[in-house]
A and B are shown apart, each in its own frame.
Chain A
């Protein structure tokens, strides 16, 4: 079983919060890894909001490979930070030699480039680095995007926290949004790329469950956009569908729900917007989701939401205070890090809703 969690706050928070959120649910997962995506960064990254940050784990050769590609493309380094490693005997972790978080300047030629050109460049470069690293087996690149950090590792989450010194709160390493998961992919091979959360162009998704439409989803997605690759985990499909609906097709967010869990024909028929719903179902039937799943996702503007499949569901609960909202597989996670919240306001997402948390920390329930 998988356990997932996400924290969105008005204040900057340290990843130790995410570790506490996840460790309280450790009986429910298999403690085989830890992965997190931090967005809207504070601390030492707070002043570089507009600049892309490369997150990778690699060998020394891997660092060189990536730097050569970046250099070639005209990127220049602004700042680099690596977590302080705390090597202790007996830690269950399979560390990589280097963990690199590098802030870069765009190439000069991109000074006046429109946003989408810069975005495409970042995707292209990341894919190029990924391919080069894969060829020589020199490491992993997780994200290359402004204001985003990704860390993934195989091992016991508690030990991974110790290894990277993440249990110790540190004001210089914070973010307003942290999504996390404590398990490596156990259905298929254990590969770092298979660990949730998945990230693409400002979109993050992590899920609990099984994507029984994996083959259908994958067959359709692999031709839709160059960034839809890997598929090491069947849950990557959820991210790609979100990205496709929201970023490429530019449809409003509620149509993500209509795509992944369309209403039954009879129910859709009764609605005013039935023509739209029928059409979406017709054209994107290959992106439907059969469950059982619960999905947490973050949009580029910081909006966070949760939704489930339409018939089997996976446990999830959302709790919030005035300045922090937390989504967690189990309520123990909420009790651990938001004990002061009004628990009567907790939301257990149903099969036909999306629970959306905006940047003012307002929690909305959208019914399909």
Chain B
């Protein structure tokens, strides 16, 4: 019997197998050139052919060497299923096919003592999404007519900033009118969908710039006051000093990357930033710090972040913050005062079994300076988290958001610290529906990241396709600093598509508001939701319908 090497990685161990058709291939070489992972290469194969060139059968055996495109099999240059080869092939000669019987996860660990994948998104999505089990089931009709989605004026703004209780408002009555006798915390009223919060570095500067252009365009030309959160990676000085800064929410996370530049730029700012977001945790990798691998730290990234080329780690927690009170006092006060209390400061945490306690504490904070509670669920994406964090840690967002809202209702403080939710929203490509449902469950607004990448052309999905965001080899130029790969991303086109997506979403939100008769955002209107799943209905306290 022939020998074989059982312990070596072989083609049938891989997640993705290349299906290649020699007959269609013209050997243009485009696929090999386009694959950033070097997962395919040109090669030759020996072929045996039986031919007969006589008018009576006289079979002859011929051996030929034919050129082929071959799949590489190895721990480093395996196929990610990104499908770029298929895209560039003019003849439909090549494509990746999912291998149902893959053993790659175990082989890789056993060979390299390391998980085989970092970054991307969780790849264990096995269940139907909760939000898809919820419908808008209360339709205004008869005595309470619906609105006309195309003609009615809708008022769709959400607060970013601390809302005081009514009886603490600094109002005096003078001549039968209310007047303010002192300032209230700064609140910015913005579109209920924030583009957030992906750093330059995790993203290519072209992708980041495309989003920034889209956001500026949405504000200045379309009239949608959409904000974008910078992520923890700094902001180009040009933007810091421009009037477009007001559309950007600056993020500070545990690595404080980029803040030296931000602080240096402060005297030159013509506009204040749209807000500050203190990032404590991220839904896709709760408890795990950030990591920008050295291979993605190109020279412009070191410059913006103010750091040398090395693995850039953001610790899993903010050094020096030991309690919620402390975080409120220290970080919020210092960031609030840095901008003279003119820029609202909010906090972002990973959804967790404990989020409600944190929110309760913040709601009770006597300083009234927490301007928003951003809760991020496990279905979000990330640049370089460990596979185990991505797949096995985290908390779904829907029930957590609901719990936070209910906690606020219980305290009679709903709306005082605006709730913003995220984590896999728009995964069915419809962000309007998800945003609407989250708002009806109690969110003031939502934030979205991964979907923006998908609009830009990210080919990854939650079933193991691509997810190579950490490699620095993103095949579509979104999350790489590789000078050749980034050119694959067309900045203007991407910006245009993000703008178009928002216009569609805005119209669809109105289409959802009209039948329930709302002209403002449906925050807390869970009475208009039903669920076709009993467990979901019970958990969220909405009507069960079947």
Contacts and interface: CB of A to CB of B under 8 A. Distances in A.
23 contacts: A209-B143, A209-B144, A210-B143, A212-B140, A212-B517, A213-B525, A215-B524, A219-B524, A244-B166, A252-B177, A252-B178, A254-B176, A264-B155, A265-B157, A265-B189, A273-B178, A276-B179, A283-B163, A283-B164, A286-B415, A290-B518, A311-B152, A312-B144
B523 interface: yes
Nearest to B519: A311
Interface stretch (B292-300, B406-414, B459-467, B493-501): B406-414
Contacts of A285: 415, 520, 523
A220 B409 CA distance: 7
Interface string A238-255: 000000100011111011
Interface in A186-215: 209-210, 212-215
Interface of B: 140, 143-145, 147, 152-153, 155, 157, 159, 163-167, 169, 171, 173, 176-180, 184, 187, 189, 409-412, 414-415, 516-520, 523-527
B180 A275 contact: yes
A222 B409 CA distance: 9
A76 B481 CA distance: 85
A208 to B, nearest CB: 10
B411 A223 contact: yes
Given A210-B143, A220-B409, 11 more contacts: A223-B412, A244-B166, A248-B167, A276-B177, A279-B171, A283-B415, A285-B415, A286-B524, A292-B143, A311-B152, A312-B145
A1 B143 contact: yes
Given A210-B144, A291-B144, A276 B180 contact: yes
A282 B187 contact: yes
B144 A292 contact: yes
Contact of A216 (B147, B163, B189, B525): B525
A264 B157 CA distance: 10
A209 B143 CA distance: 8
A224 interface: yes
Contacts of B410: 223
B463 to A, nearest CB: 38
B73 to A, nearest CB: 59
Contact of A290 (B184, B409, B517): B517
A294 to B, nearest CB: 13
Contacts of B153: 264
A36 to B, nearest CB: 24
> 10 tightest A-B contacts by CB?
A223-B412, A215-B527, A283-B166, A216-B524, A210-B144, A219-B409, A282-B163, A276-B178, A252-B176, A264-B155
Nearest to A288: B520
A265 B526 CA distance: 24
A291 B155 CA distance: 15
Chain B residues touching A, majority SS: loop
A127 interface: no
Interface string A76-96: 000000000000000000000
B524 A273 contact: no
A1 B144 CA distance: 11
A253 B543 CA distance: 37
A187 to B, nearest CB: 9
A279 B169 contact: yes
Given A250-B173, A276-B178, A276-B180, A292 B145 contact: yes
B155 A249 contact: no
Contacts of A244: 166
B178 A255 contact: yes
A251 B526 contact: no
A284 interface: yes
B141 to A, nearest CB: 11
A212 B143 contact: no
Given A283-B166, A290-B517, A215 B526 contact: yes
A120 B176 CA distance: 26
B344 to A, nearest CB: 12
Contacts of A254: 176
A244 B526 CA distance: 24
- Identify the interface centre among B166, B411, B523: most chain A CB within 10 Å of its CB: B166
Contacts of A288: 520
Contacts of B527: 214-215
Given A264-B153, A264-B155, A249 B520 contact: no
Given A210-B143, A265-B189, A276-B178, A249 B525 contact: no
A132 B189 CA distance: 47
A14 B141 CA distance: 39
A279 B180 contact: yes
Contacts of B155: 264-265
A284 B157 CA distance: 15
Nearest to A221: B412
Given A283-B163, A291-B517, A215 B180 contact: no
B50 to A, nearest CB: 78
A105 B414 CA distance: 41
A353 to B, nearest CB: 17
A86 to B, nearest CB: 35
Contacts of A283: 163-166, 169, 415
Nearest to A248: B167
Nearest to B157: A265
B283 to A, nearest CB: 26
Contact of B171 (A213, A251, A265): A251
Nearest to A1: B143
